Amino acid sequence: MEPLPLMTVQQHILEEQRRHHPDASGEFSWLLSGITLASKIIADQVRRAGLVDVLGSVGQVNVQGETQQKLDVLANQALRLCLGRRGNVGIMASEENAEPIVVPRDRQHGKYVVIFDPLDGSSNIDVNVSVGTIFSILRRAPDPEGKRDPLVDVLQAGVKQVAAGYVVYGSSTMLVYTAGNGVASFTLDPAIGAFIISNPRMTMPAKGNIYSVNAANSDSFPEPYQQFLAKLRSGEAGRTYSSRYIGSLVADFHRTLIKGGIFLYPPTRHYPQGKLRLLYEANPIAFLAEQAGGIASDGRGRIMEIPPTSLHQRCPLLVGSRTEMKLLMEMLASA
């Protein structure tokens, strides 16, 4: 097999813009470079986590009621700094902040809104398990007087996303993103400090043999979900399934994207509306899944069609290959 051409993520974005948006100004690629710069900073801190004082909590909780890890704070600062100086980001929103972040210099004319989970799975960092950054990019209508409530710009349905992706910090640092024309992946080459293309067209297998779920909560899942999991375990679904669950959404979805199968975080007694956040977890993951040929749902309909009502809104997330997802949706519909 011939090696892939040595193409950086910036080159790929520019090439895609020429192909699909020949009149593009280049501002979008400049925005993406802010995300890749921040991810390099985060990757460096994650890689040296056992050598420098970035492990453990800061002794505070975030707006979610979750204990903040030191790397949560560092990752959030890196993204805010790198994106806030792009010149075209008007609003940012983060899992770690209660309210949207207005970029003062670009409040009136910033074209983009960037929503992110700075360090997904950060509670796993102390035990050296893969973590990640998730991001979603939306367009922002002009606000010449700079008086519009920033939440209006943030609370857009997932179908309005112009791009989304994640960076997984594991055995290698990998960026996976879509701008609505398929899914591409890039691996950070530490020798040259650049993300180099790994796969220009990622596709999720039509079916898999892995299901990913927090089985400790299964007794509190609604009955159709329990029946679905029992069918997978018993072989009634037509093949033998294995269970794999890491506990970092990015890592679990990355495996599902590559190997197929299904990831599910259903409603539970403790989280009857679901646990994962719609805007900066479920929506970007759903965009990637659909662009790769998979399906993403909250159990009732398409994730990306859910109308957002609050920045930190939660929802169930069921995402994966078409075979497993169609079986699950049929069982939910008939319940």
pLDDT tens sequence across 287-298: 999 999 999 999
Q: For residue 181, what pLDDT is reported?
A: 93
pLDDT at 46 (0 to 100): 85
- What share of the chain has pLDDT > 70, as a percent? 90
CA separation for the pair 327, 261 (Å, rounded): 11
The answer to whether the CB of 166 falls within 8 A of the CB of 132 is yes
CA–CA separation, 318 vs 303, rounded Å? Answer: 9
**CATH H superfamily, domain 9-202:** Fructose-1,6-Bisphosphatase, subunit A, domain 1 (3.30.540.10)
Residue pLDDT, tens place only, 72-127: 889 999 999 999 988 889 999 999 999 999 988 766 678 999 999 999 988 777 77
For residue 117, give the 3-state DSSP assignment: strand
Three-state secondary-structure class, residue 205: coil
- What angle in degrees, to the nearest 10, is found between the helix axes of 322-334 and 223-234? 140
Average pLDDT (21-30) is 75
Q: Assess whether pLDDT exceeds 90 at residue 208.
A: yes
Looking at domain 210-334, which of 3.30.1490.20, 3.40.50.720, 3.40.190.80, 1.10.3720.10 is its CATH number? 3.40.190.80
| Residue 128: CB atoms within 10 Å | 12
Of 21-25, 81-85, 95-99, 263-267, highest mean pLDDT: 263-267
Structural domain boundaries in the chain: 9-202, 210-334
Look at residues 73, 111, 87 and name the one whose alpha carbon lies nearest to residue 34. 87
Q: Is residue 261 predicted with pLDDT exceeding 90?
A: yes
pLDDT tens for 156-170 read: 999 999 999 999 998
Q: What is the pLDDT of residue 275?
A: 95
Nearest-angstrom CA–CA distance, 263 and 210: 9
Average pLDDT over residues 200-212: 96
pTM of the model: 0.92
Nearest Cα neighbor of 90 from 71, 73, 113 is 113
User: 137 to each of 28, 60, 125, 247, how far by Cα in Å?
Assistant: 10, 28, 26, 25
Q: What are phi and psi of 311, to 5 degrees?
A: -60, -40
Regarding beta strands 173-178 and 57-61, do their DSSP bridges make them parallel or antiparallel, or are they unpaired? unpaired
User: DSSP letters of 253-267?
Assistant: HHHHHHH--EEEE--
Average pLDDT value for the chain: 89
More confident residue, 26 or 203: 203
pLDDT of residue 141: 83
Q: What does the pLDDT average to over 16-38? A: 82
On the question of pLDDT at 22 being above 80, the answer is: no
Residue that wins the pLDDT comparison between 46 and 179: 179
Closest-CA residue to 209 (of 149, 258, 170, 166): 258
Q: Residue 2: what pLDDT?
A: 56
End-to-end alpha-carbon separation of the chain, Å?
A: 48
